[in-house]
Chains A and B, each alone.
Chain A
Amino acid sequence: MAQWGSEALLEVAGLRAGYGRRPVVYGVDLEVSPGEIVAVLGHNGAGKTTTLNAIFGFIEPMAGRVSLEGSEVTTLPAVEHARRGMTYVPAERFVFQDLSVRDNLLLAATQEPSPERRADHEHRVDALFPVLGERRTQRAGTMSGGEQRMLSIGMALMAGPRLMLLDEPSLGLSPLYVETIMDAIRTVADELRVGVVMLEQNVAQALRVADRVYVMRSGETIAHETAAQLRTREHLWDLF
């Protein structure tokens, strides 16, 4: 378990959020440390995406606290979160389809002011996903789903983030791509000390690379264990 205080990258306490007046998430606590991958599992409609939206500032939490590296960001708009080193990759529509791979990556570097670091990030993306290096001028929408997903992770890296929020990175992908993506996420966390919050339906793959796991149901957390503990469970049906 991560310790409180200086170690924690992201701290979420008592989060209550929803749409309009209607709460969908009732009091969620969560924390991530640098280099840690935290998976959030749970059935569809459990409130996982809402939690992520609230953490990133797409929706304003109704109650609770979100802190990034000690400073509170709860009520700030999403743009501010991006500026402070958070990136968010949605479950669907996660690249700019009409633009080329290069334009996608360049855009994603909007928050990176230094050209040298930008070039650095680009090299790293190419190292992680060589296929993107070959397809710079191709329109993102014409690539396969797996390649687009790789691009989305690459885009997340272009701003040199400290925290990555990923919504179902494996959605709609074939098993081979899912493994590649998961491995890449693990590499990013290890080498760059980036903290990762990953929502997933593909439990098996998520457990392979995650450090800790939260399980949500009906807007609340019903379990918080290490991935190792969860892996040893006989079956997972009762968590969903």
Chain B
Amino acid sequence: MEAAGIPAGQALKPRRSEVVSEFISKYGLIAILIAFPAYYGIQDLIDDGNLTRIGNNLADGLSNGAIWALVALGYTLVYGIIELINFAHGEIFMIGAFTSFALWAPLGLNPDTGTVALVLGLLVTLIAAMLVSGSLNVMIERVGYRPLRGAPKLAPLITAVGFSFILQNVGILWLGASQRGVPDLIESQKELVNIVGISLSRGDLLAFAVTVPLVLLLTTFVGQSRLGKAMRATAQDPEAAKLMGINVDTTISLTFLLGGLLAGAAGLINTLYQTNVWYFQGFTAGLIAFTAAVMGGIGNLRGAVLGGLIIGCIQQISDNRIGNEWTPAVIFAYLVLIMVFRPQGLIGEETREAG
């Protein structure tokens, strides 16, 4: 997490090659990030005389990216504190989505439900999805990862993969293995506002309205609360944190709880936004969100959010300009380029391992 730092060493005069490398790392990366939208923006200006199309791509990208950001935060939180890639996190997100959908019918939520009842019902669904996903994540940590705390890193990693498959199969048993369309409760794609040709839908608004407060809450919690400080201390040096009286196990559980809560929220938003659920959605989302976390600098909260938003934008631009079938290749090509220029990710984080 962001509290982790490196003691400054004796400053040496950098060599010319290092200066060039640093320059490329800093500005080359910015150039890469801007190149994609800039190229198509210029093309739009030439073809249409305005930037409406690229504007719409970016608006869609940011709302999609907001969902990825919520999932990515779970990866980065866990990695920051125990340096484990929790491969089951995507499935925690899927379980959140399934829980949300499962509650709609008992709560009487359908496209004809009145606004007040819908808002209240969705609030209940949101809380339930967050609690289920959060509890499940804590349980997995307690059962699967805690006993392996001192084990070689491969052991918890494989355990995480195992939990991922177990939860996927739970999803298959729950709703079958096919993608399933769900009622469009909020008329997700209905235009809410149009600013100079850039359309914002209800789904877009929902994604921002839930993600932004949750991210602010999380960053405030981690940055300013006592428990947040304990998390940062544990991330920096668990042994020292223990000596300072911090209950490391509880702190780690808390981290899993936070990640799970965010994944549950993302599950509901995703269900409302995409209007479908699928047992495999967690794997796909997990892959994207993990990529976002790595892109932003794994272990860094702001990096995860930034990575999520960037991937969302790349996805939508690629879908619209290159083709949906090539989008995964474009995203990962971007990731590779960013890693080449800046292995620590966009914002970067010096983890215990690295630092």
Q: A and B: partners? A: no
Report which A residues bind B (CB closer than 8 A): none
Report which B residues bind A (CB closer than 8 A): none
